[in-house]
Structure 1
Amino acid sequence: MKNYRLLLIALLFSAGMMAQDRGSVVGNIYGSYTFSNNVNFDYGHLDIGDGLTYGGGFEFFPQKSTSVELKYLRLDTSMDIDVPNGIAGYPDKKGDGAFNYILIGGNHYFDSGNNAVPYLGGGLGMAITEGPYGGSDTNFAWELKGGVKIKTASIVSISLQANLISTWAAAGTDTYWGYWGPVAVQDYAVSYQFGLGAVFGFNFH
């Protein structure tokens, strides 16, 4: 029995040392605390509450220190839409909603041979927003992130990271006067959601 335990420990240790080798595939589980923020638009503003952002994804390493990542994240939160005096026929709304992010991007690891490896990354994709009273809207989203990946003597790694996700939603138009007269330009409501959390990685190769 003791020999089997030693063999298992040796296998886990060798698997851990393979993390971030070229061709590696890592399954990630994400969890972070996302802070509240305020979004302004032409006829009022939207207060987005704080909450837990969670999800999963896969990370592929075409090179030892560079990865390509595909992931899904979800934030369940409160939404308070404030439109002063019901301007333009839009009443105030308050309730629970959610953001669903589908992002593709990558990370660059600054590996110096230590178990703690700093990294920077980002991604592009879409945010599917669920409103307080049903319905959904799909918009462009991007992410920036940075942190430290901590390797262990097993197939599991833990990353501590900070991230910023921004969603851009069309919100009416602004009119400008040009040489040929009035020109309507698309206006956007932009959210910036900052989070602190962890990523648990499971090395499959």
Structure 2
Amino acid sequence: MKLNKLILFFFFIIASPSVIVAQSLEAYVFSGYTFSDRFPIYGGRAKIHDGHTFGGGLQYMLNNQYAIEVIYHRQQSQITAFSSNLSLDVDLPMNVHFILAGSNRVQRIHEKASVYGGVKVGAVIYDPKGISLDNVTHFAAGVSAGGKIFIQPKLGLRVQANLFIPITDLGGSIFWSPGSGVNVGLAGFGSILHFGFTGGLFYKLF
């Protein structure tokens, strides 16, 4: 239910009047790869494996140098976790959903090409595919940088590097089992890093 509400909020933002009157608006889709990351949990360690990434978004150019954007980023992954304290041994598929909004600084390097970088904030949803496991939503932040080039008057190619970081408190859960009360939580102040690359197409709507 939380995921559905966040997706609806995402589309509400991109359909708002402020976007409709934008100087220019681009829609884009992408596919890519996100690297794995290991992190400590109570009594053990866990790993979110590398996997395929895909998604899309909208970028609204405020002027020639600044833009705002919203993005949906989904990683298909696997999580493994072992904890001697919790008698936990998990190995199951998991989807990671990022829904973020932020701003970019844009620098034109050619009539048809530009580079950009910026920061984003929003939410991440860890969605494990296991029996009696619930997903968990956290605040998230990230940085991204990339470049794009027009290959047609309104169509172009876009490549980007991303680093997304969930913001969790001490012991923040990645997922939990409501039946047993067992959760996979961060030990200390360990961070989970989602770093990867994407490439795709963008289309200038106006």
Bin the TM-score by the shorter chain: 0.7 to 0.9
CA contact (8 A) 1:50 1:77 kept: yes
Aligned-pair CA distance for 1:122: 2.0
CA contact (8 A) 1:108 1:120 kept: yes
Q: Distance in 1 between matches of 2:140 and 2:200?
A: 20
- 3-state SS, counterpart of residue 191 of structure 2: strand
Aligned-pair CA distance for 1:189: 4.2
Task: Kindly name which structure, 1 or 2, has the bigger radius of gyration based on alpha carbons.
Answer: 1
Aligned-pair CA distance for 1:121: 1.6
CA contact (8 A) 1:128 1:137 kept: yes
CA contact (8 A) 1:168 1:189 kept: no
Structure-1 residue corresponding to 2:88: 91
> Cα–Cα, structure 1 residues 171 and 80, in superposed 2: closer, same or farther, change >3 Å?
farther
Q: Which runs of 5+ in 2 are unaligned?
A: 1-21, 173-186
Deviates more, 1:97-106 or 1:114-123: 114-123
Deviations 1:71-101 (Å, cap 9, x if unpaired)? 1111110000111x2x0x3511111011111
Root-mean-square deviation (CA, aligned residues, Å) is: 2.0
Comparing both structures, which one devotes a greater share of its residues to strand?
A: 1
Q: Which runs of 5+ in 1 are unaligned?
A: 1-21, 174-185
Q: Distance in 1 between matches of 2:147 and 2:156?
A: 10
Matched letter for residue 55 of structure 1: G
CA contact (8 A) 1:168 1:188 kept: no
Structure-1 residue corresponding to 2:111: 114
Number of aligned residues: 169
Structure-2 residue corresponding to 1:9: none
Deviations 1:102-143 (Å, cap 9, x if unpaired)? 100121111144323121122111101112423100012112
Structure-2 residue corresponding to 1:48: 48
Aligned-pair CA distance for 1:200: 1.5
Matched letter for residue 101 of structure 1: F
Q: Distance in 1 between matches of 2:144 and 2:40?
A: 24
- 3-state SS, counterpart of residue 150 of structure 1: strand
CA contact (8 A) 1:107 1:119 kept: yes
Tell me if 1:141 matches 2:140: yes
